[in-house]
Every structure is written in C-alpha cells, then in structure tokens.
C-alpha cells in the first residue's frame, strides 16, 4: 500500500476509492503542477488579452465614429461640390445670356442709329457725324411737330391716279366753252376709284350739290381754316358732321354733275380763298418748309403762336418747326 495512491470520491451514494500505482501518481502530480503553472501563467495573459480586447473595442468604436464623421464630411463636401457645380453652371448660363444680350443691344443700338439716320433723311436734314441723345430728342420733337401739321393741313394725293387732266388757274371750260378760273386739279380716274381724305377733318357737306355743278360732292373742314373739295363722285362713303382721319376712304370717283368724263375734281381752300393744290400735293415730311414758301396767300407766320409750337419755355431756343414757319413766311 506504500506505493499506491488512493483517490477517494465521495458522492450521495457513498464513497469509492481508487488505487493508483506510482507511475500514475507521478503523472497526476505532473498534471496538477502543469495545471497550476498554466493557471498562474494564463491568468495574467487572459487579463492582458482582456485589456487588449477592451482597448481594441474602444479603438473600434473610435474608428466607427471617425468613419461616420468622414462619411458625413464626404456627404457635406459632395453637397458643396454639387452646389458649386450648380452655381458655376448658372454663372456660365448667365454669362452666355449676357453675351447674347450685349450682341442684341449692340444690334439694337446699330438699328437705332440707322433709324435715327433714316429719320434725318426723312426730315430732309444732313446726316449727323455722331448721334447724341440731345440730337435724338431734337429729331423726335421735330418729327412729332411735323406729323402734327401733316395731319391737320391737307397734303398728299387724294387718289391713286397717274394723270392730271387740268390744273389750277384760268382755262376754257370744256362744257360751257367760256374762260373761267379752275379752282382745283382734275385727276383722270375710272368710275369707282377710291378717294381718300388728305388730312384729319369733319365732314361739312356730303351729297349731291346741284348749284356748283360738281355733282356728288364732299367738303371736308380741316384745322387752321382749310377746306378740301372732292367733286364729280360716283359714291359717297361719309355723312355730314362725321369726323374723318387722314387717309380714310371717303368715296369713289365718278362722272356726276357737269363733267365730260370720269375724273376727280380736287380743291384746297383757306377760308373762302381757293389755293393751288399742287404745293399741298407735294408737301411731305422731308420737304416740310416748301409749303410755307410757295403758298403766299396764307399768313403762316401767325402759326408760330399756335399749340403745340408755343410750348417752349422762356429763354429756351425756338423749336425748329417755328423757325421753319417763321423763316418761310418772311
């Protein structure tokens, strides 16, 4: 029994003994020693490993936070880049629009300069070397005042006819065979040719006028004491006291009254005085002052006091239309 090792195991059912020989005893002792050594060695290692794992977990958590922060920053940078890209595209679009606008404005300015040069030509003025704002305003005022008079005083053709058969002045009457004063101009025209008002007016008379021999007659009363007569008409398109505008259709040519053939008899009168219609037919925007110098029976100088010519302030230069009227009437 000396060389045996007795191992006793006790349970609820009782005790039981196991006998080990010396070799087994040595093996058990070695096992116990190794287990003890392993315990004392592995325990610090386990503690060290546990600490390392905790540090790794902390590092992992920090890395996760850094990664999320990096992702957030990346999204922010991407958003900023997208915004910058959009702003750049908008700026490029605005630049292109500005370039197009500059081209359009340049073309507009060129067109405006050409229009103003054309206006100078239309007004019969010499072309300016440079078009200034002051010059443009002067041209606008001059054109407005000329248009005012061209609408108020008879001018231009009352009919589209290439042939004049009788002019103003003394002549032998083709029907009565006596010399008399022909107070207007006769235009050869087929029956039914349109007749137009030569200025803004009110209809003084429209109908058949037996006493004058003009047959169907229209008399228009214009501003400043002017009247126009349209005789031998075939048809009248306006009525008494109607207002008509320059260029409006008022009737059709014919052969009524004392007439040898279809034509239009056209007269221009100032108050009760017949005037030669020829200067009025030729009067236009570009030849504006010709009427005031050719028609002597009208006291044009008094027109300088009429509205809108009298709108200039005291001390300012006299408007060009006043100058033209005043100089032409001298």
Residue 112 has a pLDDT of 46
Per-residue DSSP letter, 162: S
Residue 199 has a pLDDT of 96
Bridge pairing between strands 201-209 and 179-182: unpaired
Mean pLDDT comparison of 16-30, 237-251, 273-287, 301-315, highest-scoring range: 237-251
Residue 3 lies in a domain: no
- The contacts of residue 120 (CB under 8 Å, 6+ apart) are 126, 127, 128, 139
pLDDT at 279 over 50: yes
Per-residue DSSP letter, 319: P
Q: Residues of the chain with pLDDT > 90: what percent?
A: 34
DSSP string over 58-110: HHHHHHHHHHHHHHHHHHHHHHHHHHHHHHHHHHHHHHHHHHHHHHHHHHHHH
Residue 319 lies in a domain: no
User: What is the mean pLDDT of the segment spanning 118-125?
Assistant: 65
Residue 190 lies in a domain: yes
Residue 163 lies in a domain: yes
Q: How many CA atoms lie within 13 A of 193 on its CB side?
A: 20
Residue 82 lies in a domain: no
Residue 20's beta-bridge partner residues? 5
Name the least confident of 57-66, 148-157, 173-182, 281-290: 173-182
The separation between CA 205 and the C-alpha centre of its own chain, rounded to angstroms, equals: 44
Q: Which two tokens stand for residue 183?
A: 């107070």
Q: In degrees, to the nearest 5, what angle opens at C-alpha 124 toward C-alphas 121 and 130? A: 50
Q: Check: CB of residue 252 under 8 Å from CB of residue 207.
A: no
User: What is the mean pLDDT of the segment spanning 91-108?
Assistant: 63
pLDDT at 300 over 70: yes
Dist. CA 295–CA 146, nearest whole Å:
17
Within the chain, how many helices (H) and strands (E) appear?
5, 14
> Please, which pLDDT band fits residue 328 given cuts at 50, 70 and 90?
low
Q: How many CA atoms lie within 13 A of 128 on its CB side?
A: 18
Residue 266 has a pLDDT of 97
Number of domains in the chain: 1
CB atoms < 10 A from the CB of 285, how many?
16
pLDDT at 20 over 90: no
Residue 234 lies in a domain: yes
Q: CATH no. for residue 181?
A: 2.70.70.10
CA dihedral 221, 255, 191, 269 (to 10 degrees): -20
| Average pLDDT along the chain | 79
Residue 242 lies in a domain: yes
Q: Check: CB of residue 179 under 8 Å from CB of residue 160.
A: no
Residue 2 has a pLDDT of 55
pLDDT at 216 over 80: yes
Q: Calculate the alpha carbon distances from 222 to 48, 90, 150, 251 in Å.
A: 121, 61, 11, 17
pLDDT tens digits, one per residue of 126-175: 666 666 677 677 777 778 888 889 999 999 999 997 789 989 888 676 66
Q: Which two tokens stand for residue 265?
A: 């008899």
Dist. CA 130–CA 146, nearest whole Å:
23
User: Domain range spanning residue 191?
Assistant: 157-282
Of the two residues 307 and 304, the one the predictor is more confident about is: 304
Q: How many CA atoms lie within 13 A of 13 on its CB side?
A: 2
pLDDT at 325 over 90: no
Taking the chain, what is the end-to-end CA distance rounded to the nearest angstrom? Answer: 171
Q: Which two tokens stand for residue 215?
A: 């047959």
Of the two residues 307 and 155, the one the predictor is more confident about is: 155
pLDDT at 251 over 70: yes
Helix axis angle, 133-152 relative to 22-122, nearest 10°? 50
pLDDT at 316 over 50: no
Backbone angles phi, psi at 55, to 5 degrees: -65, -40
pTM to 2 decimals?
A: 0.60
Residue 108 has a pLDDT of 44
Residue 183 lies in a domain: yes
């Amino acid at each position: 029994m000396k060389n045996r090792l007795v191992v006793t195991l006790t349970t609820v059912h009782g005790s039981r003994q196991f006998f080990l020989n010396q070799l087994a005893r040595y093996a058990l002792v070695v096992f116990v020693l190794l287990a003890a050594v392993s315990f004392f060695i592995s325990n610090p290692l386990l503690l060290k490993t546990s600490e390392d794992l905790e540090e790794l977990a902390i590092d992992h958590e920090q890395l996760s936070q850094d990664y999320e922060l990096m992702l957030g920053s990346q999204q922010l940078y991407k958003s900023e880049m997208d915004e910058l890209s959009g702003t750049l595209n908008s700026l490029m679009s605005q630049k292109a629009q500005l370039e197009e606008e500059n081209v359009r404005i340049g073309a507009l300015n060129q067109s405006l300069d050409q229009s103003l040069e054309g206006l100078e030509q239309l007004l019969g003025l010499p072309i300016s070397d440079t078009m200034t704002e002051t010059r443009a305003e002067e041209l606008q005022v001059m054109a407005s005042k000329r248009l005012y008079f061209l609408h108020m005083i008879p001018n231009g053709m009352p009919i589209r006819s290439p042939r004049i058969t009788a002019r103003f002045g003394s002549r032998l009457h083709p029907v009565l065979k006596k010399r008399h004063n022909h107070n207007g101009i006769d235009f050869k025209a087929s029956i039914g040719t349109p007749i137009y008002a030569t200025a803004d007016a009110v209809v003084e008379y429209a109908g058949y006028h037996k006493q004058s021999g003009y047959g169907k007659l229209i008399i228009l009363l214009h501003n400043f004491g002017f009247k126009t007569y349209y005789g031998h008409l075939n048809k009248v398109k306006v009525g008494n006291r109607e207002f008509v505008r320059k260029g409006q259709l008022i009737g059709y040519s014919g052969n009524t009254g004392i007439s040898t053939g279809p034509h239009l008899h056209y007269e221009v009168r100032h108050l009760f005085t017949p005037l030669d219609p020829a200067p009025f037919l030729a009067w236009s925007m570009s030849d504006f002052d010709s009427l005031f110098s050719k028609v002597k029976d009208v006291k044009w100088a008094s027109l300088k006091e009429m509205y809108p010519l009298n709108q200039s302030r005291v001390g300012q230069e006299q408007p060009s239309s006043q100058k033209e009227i005043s100089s032409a009437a001298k």
